[in-house]
RNA sequence: GGUUCCGUAGCUCAGCUGGAUAGAGCAACUGCCUUCUAAGCAGUAGGUCUUUGGUUCGAAUCCAAACGGAAUCACCA
């Protein structure tokens, strides 16, 4: 709608002899209770017009009508100038922009971006919080790609550390050689089971020591199990073959399990990083920082950075014994990623509980003057809470990812069967439909909310299938496809329609906004913007569908026009949902 | 205690680069399937936008303070 802003700027120049940049003219959509599609707020210009808001609006309106061919009419209500754009302009948009296959196709912007997401620990299965992370990361990657970036999806697997040793140790003690095959358990669940066992036994030992008179703190340190776990970690770091071999075995179980879950979720990665390979990185960066005077060494030999001038604290970056801490690794990994891909931007999809960590990490990289440091971004999302509060894996109050997905499919099946529309479907088509709908409901539920906000999930209240939901949008798509298939073909030619019904015009106006919406979502790293847009589109299409007959339109030409409009709507719904990682069925 | 984030209808959320009478969905109530898929459409009801100040022609939106909630401030990751 740039031409309106430019014309309005010209109008102000000629009418009031004042220069206003077109970009400074605030255009908004006309509210639906008024005539027109575009509204200019005239209050800001009363200063230069020295007239009332009404008169100013009328002046500019007259000018636009006289000088801009697309402007057909206008009305002024208080300080609002509502402009009606001629239907010919909207039809032009439809046929030259929206209908062609190239609509909203990515235009490479010359930039490369890495999106790191998922980044699981290998000692327990994925839960609902990980699902939000995975869906966000995958969707943001799709959105950035659609916005013109070259995208690398990365997964940094936390496959080492004390937590994995805990699972390994418990398995050695109480596993009796159990394997995924022998137990029938998915590998990640099997390993998770031993993590829980470790914790239970560890607590028993703590209680026993406390009964002997030790304090809680002492007991936690002195329990034999935790000492064994620490010893095992040391052995792992020294390359003890027995420990390494068990570690490899158990990790391979977990990976097989994760792969299955990722497949169900429909997410994937271009590059895997493993902490077992990266945990020693970063030490050369510490040296570099010392040399540059960014870091300093304390008397005990530990190395720190002072961030008090930036409103933060002093932060340890290397222990006195020369071993890494979390941030040491992350410094090294950031460098490794940049060396591998040389990306312009690097997005970390990590929960907001790590806000402080990333603030520090990015600040350090900037102070070191690292290439790419300005392109770092922490996509910080809110935790998923249950009505009872936070999910805690040790207390068993987590919503397991695999269980939840299975439940969603079952619920989708029940809903669908109750509606009795799938009698003609084959078994394979049915089960694939249930998966599509169940995952659609879950994904949409999680993605429609602003990533920054915390999310409340009530396991007792099933995810809806009606209203502002994934299945509603999927249904709208299937509904359009059904009409299109009944039409047995339609012309691709431009139909010489002259006037549009209001629902038709509204649809074109909304479809026309899709490319801008993608950009907006990319800038804000927000799938929620896409989710809300697609919902609005589906809602509007259903209104159109209800108000106007397509196949029984007044004449052949109108019928073809409405079929084209319907096909365009289906296309945008499908593309929009794909940006969320949600599939859309041909029929349901 | 310091820092950061959040507070919109009974519930879940949009709206936040300041603009018209604050919008959806769920739940409740009312209509609409002999007509292209009723997982739909239309309607009724539901609001001190946490509170108080400030800036402004104009504030849910910006600023400040208070209240309420969350996270974080580890030689854990």
Stated as kind and residue range, the H or E segment containing A48 is helix A46-49
Gap from A5 CA to B40 C1', Å:
38
The residues pairing with A315 across neighbouring beta strands, listed in sequence order, are: A305
Among A24, A53, A85, the domain-final residue is: A85
Phi, psi of A72 (to 5 degrees): -100, -40
**Which nucleotide lies closest to A552 by the C1' atom and the CA atom?**
B36
Mean pLDDT by 10 residues, chain A (588 residues): 88 90 86 90 90 93 95 92 95 96 96 96 93 97 98 96 93 95 96 93 92 88 92 92 96 97 97 93 92 92 90 90 90 96 96 93 94 93 85 77 95 93 92 97 95 87 90 97 92 89 95 96 95 97 96 93 97 98 96
**Which nucleotide lies closest to A359 by the C1' atom and the CA atom?**
B4
Same domain, A77 and A176: no
Look at residue A386 in the predicted model and tell me its pLDDT: 84
**Which nucleotide lies closest to A468 by the C1' atom and the CA atom?**
B25
Quick one: which residue's CA is nearest to B21's C1'? A33
Gap from A545 CA to B33 C1', Å:
15
Look at residue A492 in the predicted model and tell me its pLDDT: 84
Among A85, A112, A128, the domain-final residue is: A85
CATH of residue A25: 3.30.1360.70
Gap from A37 CA to B56 C1', Å:
28
Region for A17 from its dihedrals, namely left if φ exceeds 0, alpha if ψ lies in -120 to 50, beta otherwise: left
Same domain, A76 and A202: no
**Which nucleotide lies closest to A445 by the C1' atom and the CA atom?**
B12
Query: Encoding tokens for residue A355?
Result: 């806000």
Residue A477 lies in a domain: yes
Look at residue A390 in the predicted model and tell me its pLDDT: 79
DSSP string, A210-257: HHTT--HHHHHHH-HHHHHHHHHHHHHHTT-HHHHHHHHHHHHHHHHH
Same domain, A449 and A552: yes
Same domain, A429 and A562: yes
Look at residue A216 in the predicted model and tell me its pLDDT: 84
**Which nucleotide lies closest to A548 by the C1' atom and the CA atom?**
B36
Gap from A68 CA to B51 C1', Å:
49
The residue with tokens 């809300």 is: A532
Quick one: which residue's CA is nearest to B58's C1'? A43
Query: Encoding tokens for residue A66?
Result: 């006289």
Look at residue A328 in the predicted model and tell me its pLDDT: 92
**Which nucleotide lies closest to A351 by the C1' atom and the CA atom?**
B71
Quick one: which residue's CA is nearest to B17's C1'? A26
**Which nucleotide lies closest to A161 by the C1' atom and the CA atom?**
B77
E strand segments, A285-369: 295-297, 303-306, 314-318, 345-351
CA atoms of A137 and A238, how far apart (whole Å): 35
Closest CA to A124 of A357, A456, A348, A396: A396
Q: Which nucleotides of B are covered by protein (CB under 7 A)?
A: 2-6, 11-16, 19-21, 24-27, 35-42, 57-58, 70-77
Tally of structural domains, chain A: 3
CA atoms of A224 and A205, how far apart (whole Å): 8
Gap from A402 CA to B50 C1', Å:
39
Gap from A398 CA to B69 C1', Å:
22
Gap from A388 CA to B69 C1', Å:
14
Gap from A379 CA to B4 C1', Å:
15
The residue with tokens 């008179």 is: A213
Residue A107 lies in a domain: no
CA atoms of A361 and A220, how far apart (whole Å): 30
Same domain, A80 and A166: no
Residue A409 lies in a domain: yes
Residues A337, A339, A345, CA angle at the centre, nearest 5°?
55
Residue A489 lies in a domain: yes
Same domain, A58 and A205: no
The residues pairing with A272 across neighbouring beta strands, listed in sequence order, are: A155
Query: Encoding tokens for residue A539?
Result: 């809602």
Look at residue A471 in the predicted model and tell me its pLDDT: 97
Residues in chain A: 588
Look at residue A147 in the predicted model and tell me its pLDDT: 97
Look at residue A58 in the predicted model and tell me its pLDDT: 94
Quick one: which residue's CA is nearest to B75's C1'? A319
Domain housing A189? 161-253
Q: A308 exposed, middle or buried (CB, 10 Å; 0-12, 13-18, 19+)?
A: exposed
Gap from A375 CA to B4 C1', Å:
21
Residue A558 lies in a domain: yes
Same domain, A556 and A458: yes
**Which nucleotide lies closest to A314 by the C1' atom and the CA atom?**
B73
Gap from A376 CA to B11 C1', Å:
37
Same domain, A545 and A431: yes
CA atoms of A179 and A186, how far apart (whole Å): 9
Look at residue A339 in the predicted model and tell me its pLDDT: 96
CATH of residue A476: 1.10.730.10
Gap from A453 CA to B67 C1', Å:
21
Gap from A504 CA to B22 C1', Å:
27
**Which nucleotide lies closest to A434 by the C1' atom and the CA atom?**
B39
Quick one: which residue's CA is nearest to B57's C1'? A43
First to last CA, chain A: 37
Closest CA to A473 of A513, A530, A411, A549: A530
Same domain, A453 and A539: yes
Same domain, A186 and A68: no
Residue A429 lies in a domain: yes
**Which nucleotide lies closest to A563 by the C1' atom and the CA atom?**
B36
Q: What is the ipTM of this complex?
A: 0.96
Same domain, A79 and A185: no
Quick one: which residue's CA is nearest to B38's C1'? A419
Among A207, A235, A253, the domain-final residue is: A253
Residue A98 lies in a domain: no
Look at residue A395 in the predicted model and tell me its pLDDT: 66
Residue A18 lies in a domain: yes
Look at residue A394 in the predicted model and tell me its pLDDT: 65
Look at residue A305 in the predicted model and tell me its pLDDT: 94
Same domain, A51 and A180: no
Helices (H), A368-501: 401-419, 427-447, 470-486
Q: A293 exposed, middle or buried (CB, 10 Å; 0-12, 13-18, 19+)?
A: exposed
């Amino acid at each position: 709608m740039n031409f309106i802003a430019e014309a309005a700027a010209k109008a102000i120049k000629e009418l009031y002899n004042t220069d206003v940049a077109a970009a400074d003219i605030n255009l908004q959509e006309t509210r639906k209770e008024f005539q027109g599609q575009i509204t200019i707020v005239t209050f800001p210009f009363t200063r230069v017009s020295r007239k009332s808001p009404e008169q100013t609006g009328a002046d500019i309106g007259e000018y636009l009508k006289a000088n801009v061919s697309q402007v057909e009419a206008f009305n002024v209500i208080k300080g609002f100038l509502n402009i009606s754009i001629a239907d010919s302009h909207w039809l032009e948009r439809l046929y030259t922009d929206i209908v062609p296959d190239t609509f909203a196709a990515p235009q490479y912007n010359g930039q490369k971006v890495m999106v790191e997401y998922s980044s699981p620990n290998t000692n327990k299965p994925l839960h609902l919080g990980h699902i939000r992370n995975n869906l966000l990361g995958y969707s943001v990657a799709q959105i950035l790609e659609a916005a013109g970036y070259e995208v690398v999806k990365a997964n940094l697997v936390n496959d080492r550390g004390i937590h994995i040793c805990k699972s390994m140790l418990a398995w050695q003690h109480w596993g009796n050689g159990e394997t995924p095959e022998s137990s029938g358990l998915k590998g990640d669940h099997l390993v998770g089971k031993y993590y829980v066992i470790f914790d239970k036994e560890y607590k028993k030992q703590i209680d026993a020591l406390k009964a002997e008179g030790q304090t809680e703190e002492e007991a936690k340190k002195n329990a034999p199990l935790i000492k064994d776990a620490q010893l095992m970690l040391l052995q792992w770091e020294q390359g003890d073959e027995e420990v390494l071999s068990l570690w490899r075995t158990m990790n391979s179980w977990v990976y097989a399990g994760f792969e299955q879950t990722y497949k169900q979720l429909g997410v994937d990665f271009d590059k895997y990083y493993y902490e077992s390979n990266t945990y020693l990185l970063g030490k050369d960066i510490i040296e570099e920082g010392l040399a540059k005077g960014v870091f300093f060494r304390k008397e005990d030999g530990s190395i720190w950075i002072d961030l008090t001038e930036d409103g933060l604290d002093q932060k340890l970056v290397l222990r006195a014994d020369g071993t890494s801490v979390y941030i040491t690794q992350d410094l090294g990994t950031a460098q490794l990623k940049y060396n591998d891909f040389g990306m312009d931007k690097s997005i970390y999809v990590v929960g907001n509980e790590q806000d402080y960590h990333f603030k520090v990490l990015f600040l350090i990289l900037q102070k070191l003057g690292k290439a790419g440091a300005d392109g770092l971004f922490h996509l910080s999302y809110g935790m998923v809470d249950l009505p009872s509060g936070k999910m805690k894996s040790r207390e068993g109050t987590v919503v397991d990812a695999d269980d939840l997905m299975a439940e969603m499919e079952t619920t989708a099946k029940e809903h669908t069967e109750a509606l009795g529309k799938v009698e003609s479907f084959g078994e394979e088509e049915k089960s694939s439909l249930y998966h599509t709908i169940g995952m659609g409901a879950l994904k949409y539920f999680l993605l429609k909310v602003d990533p920054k906000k915390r999310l409340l999930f009530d396991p007792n209240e099933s995810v809806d299938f009606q209203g502002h939901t994934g299945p509603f949008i999927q249904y709208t798509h299937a509904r359009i496809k059904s009409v299109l298939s009944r039409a047995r073909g339609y012309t691709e030619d431009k139909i010489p329609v002259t006037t549009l019904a209001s629902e038709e015009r509204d649809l074109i106006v909304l479809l026309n906004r899709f490319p801008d919406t993608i950009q907006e979502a990319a800038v804000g790293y927000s799938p929620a913007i896409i989710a809300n847009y697609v919902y609005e589109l589906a809602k509007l299409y259903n209104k159109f569908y209800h108000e106007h007959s397509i196949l029984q339109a007044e004449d052949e030409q109108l019928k073809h026009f409405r079929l084209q409009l319907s096909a365009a709507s289906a296309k945008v719904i499908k593309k929009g949902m794909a940006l969320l990682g949600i599939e859309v069925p041909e029929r349901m």
